[in-house]
Amino acid sequence: MNDMRLTERNMTDHKIKMQARGVDVFYGHDQAIKNVDVDIEDNTVTAFIGPSGCGKSTFLRCLNRMNDTIDVCRVTGDIRLDDEDIYDPQVDPVQLRAKVGMVFQKPNPFPKSIYDNVAYGPKIHGLATNKAELDEIVEKSLRRAAIWDEAKDRLDQPGTGLSGGQQQRLCIARAVATNPEVLLMDEPCSALDPIATAQVEELIDELRERFSVVIVTHSMQQAARVSQKTAFFHLGELVEYGETSQIFTNPQDTRTESYITGRIG
């Protein structure tokens, strides 16, 4: 019976967008991530789950080299985006982050207007040659983030004046405005109420059509709802990675089973 469902889900066979092999992360002398291998597929939502401190956020931040900003953090191993090593000395993290966008746990719009929030990325990367193009990008991004209708009449008002859920969707609009290939989301709904959470989850499912989405979440229900692939992290190790349906219904590892049934975590 389980096998039946597995094959059902397996039908969507996408190409691999990001590939991590033997990734170790150290904070000073402490090892936060131990030898992680993951393949992230295109047009797929991949969820990272696991108890607090298991390293799922740390690993997520390796994928766009946000860990570079932490002095004591050291990453070894091989992470590739479209077969290009992102930790190659010739790769500029700035360039990488234009291709791998990020949405953070706490909504963090710039204290600027809604328009400027979304236009900032395209502006610094030179994606628009004139105002009309920029306007178009802003509108498209806000529409993709499902906040256009709420924001269109107040584009010149500060983004910080929006509600929490709206702010988070604005941050998603800001992240998709540079037209990234991968979108990283670090517990994007943890500061939101259930209604806003539902809106953002719906949005994530839509975003899958254009991007490869990686989401870190504490909520197993959320992982089950939005993701096709799930990776379970425990104490810095990737314990199990596979089809979401399989992880939640037929986990291979006892630790995964204990976590999803609520016995550890």
Partner 1 sequence: MTDITPNDARKASNNATTEAVKRSLARRNRKQLVLQGFGIGAIVIAFTVLFILVASLVRTGYTAFVQTHVTLDVYIDPAEISEEGLPRGGFRDVLTAAVLDNLPGADPEEDARGVRNILSNGAQFQLRDQIVEDPSLIGQTITLTVPLSDPFDQLNKGGVRRDTPEDQRRVDNQEMAWFDALDEAGIISTPFNIGLFTNADSRFPELAGLKGALVGSFWALLTCFLIAFPIGIGAAIYLEEFAPKNRLSDFIEVNINNLAAVPSVVFGLLALAVFIGWFGLPRSAPFVGGLTLALMTMPTIIIATRAALKAVPPSIREAALGVGASKHQVVFQHVLPLAMPGILTGTIIGLAQALGETAPLLLIGMNAFITSAPTSPFDAATALPTQIFIWADSPERGFTSRTSAAILVLLGFLVMMNGIAIYLRNKFERRW
Beta carbon of residue 98, minimum distance to partner 1 (angstroms, whole number): 4
Tell me if 171 sits within 8 A of 103, measured CB to CB.
yes
Quick one: which segment of 25-33, 49-57, 119-127, 202-210 binds partner 1 (CB under 8 A)? Answer: 119-127
Work out which of 56, 174, 208, 229 binds partner 1, going by CB under 8 A. Answer: 174
Quick one: which segment of 63-71, 202-210, 217-225, 253-261 binds partner 1 (CB under 8 A)? Answer: 63-71
Residue 197 lies near partner 1 (rule: CB under 8 A)? no
Tally of CB atoms within 10 A around 91: 14
Beta carbon of residue 102, minimum distance to partner 1 (angstroms, whole number): 4
- Give the CA distances from residue 3 to residues 140, 160, 224, 233, 245, in Å, rounded to whole numbers and listed in that order: 41, 48, 18, 24, 10
- Where does residue 263 fall: left (phi above 0), alpha (psi -120 to 50 degrees), or beta otherwise? alpha
Tokens of 135: 């306007």
Beta carbon of residue 250, minimum distance to partner 1 (angstroms, whole number): 36
CA distance 265 to 259: 6
* Exposure of 260 in the CB half-sphere (CA atoms within 13 A): 26
Work out which of 177, 196, 223, 239 binds partner 1, going by CB under 8 A. Answer: 177
Residue 160 lies near partner 1 (rule: CB under 8 A)? yes
Residue 90 lies near partner 1 (rule: CB under 8 A)? no
Work out which of 4, 29, 52, 69 binds partner 1, going by CB under 8 A. Answer: 69
119 vs 155 by CB, closer to partner 1? 119
Residue 70 lies near partner 1 (rule: CB under 8 A)? no
- In the chain, the amino acid numbered 28 is G
- Where does residue 26 fall: left (phi above 0), alpha (psi -120 to 50 degrees), or beta otherwise? beta
Quick one: which segment of 34-42, 77-85, 101-109, 134-142 binds partner 1 (CB under 8 A)? Answer: 101-109
Tokens of 144: 């993709």
H helices of the chain, in order, are: 2-10, 56-62, 93-99, 114-125, 131-144, 148-151, 164-176, 194-207, 220-226, 244-249, 254-260
Residue 175 lies near partner 1 (rule: CB under 8 A)? yes
40 vs 176 by CB, closer to partner 1? 176
117 vs 246 by CB, closer to partner 1? 117
Give contact residues for partner 1 (rule: CB under 8 A): 64, 66, 69, 71, 94-98, 101-104, 106, 108-111, 120-121, 124-125, 160, 171, 174-175, 177-178
